[in-house]
Amino acid sequence: MENEGVENAYKIDSKFSKYKDATVPGDMRGSWGEARKAGRTKGNRDINFRLVVIIAVLVLIVWWFFDFDLSLFTRF
C-alpha cells in the first residue's frame, strides 16, 4: 500500500513522464478523446424521452396490426 504523503526515494523519473498526458496537433486519438470527454453528460445515462415515445408508437402500431381491441381499457 502506498502512502501518498511520503515521496518514494527509489522512484526513477523519466523525461517522458511529464509529456504522458500531452497531445500534439496531429494526434487524432488525443483530440477525439478530449472531444468525447467534453461531450459526456450525466443525462446520457437516463432514459431518453425520445426513446420512450418511439417504443410507445411501435407498440401501438403492433397492436393496430394485430387488431388489438383498445376498448378493454375503458369502462362502460
Mapping DSSP onto H, E and C, the string for 57-72 reads HHHHHHHHHCCCCHHH
The answer to whether residue 4 sits within a structural domain is no
Distance of CA 29 to the CA centre of its chain: 18
The answer to whether residue 58 sits within a structural domain is yes
The answer to whether residue 44 sits within a structural domain is yes
The answer to whether residue 29 sits within a structural domain is yes
Structural domains counted in the chain: 1
The answer to whether residue 11 sits within a structural domain is no
Helix (H, G, I), strand (E, B) or coil at 7: coil
Helix (H, G, I), strand (E, B) or coil at 20: coil
The more confident residue out of 70 and 59 is 59
Nearest to 25 by CA among 16, 14, 34, 36: 34
The answer to whether residue 3 sits within a structural domain is no
Query: Strand (E) positions, 1-76?
Result: none
**Mean pLDDT taken over the chain:** 76
Q: Which domain, by its residues, includes 60?
A: 17-73
Residue 30 neighbours by CB distance under 10 Å: 14
For residue 50, pLDDT beyond 90: no
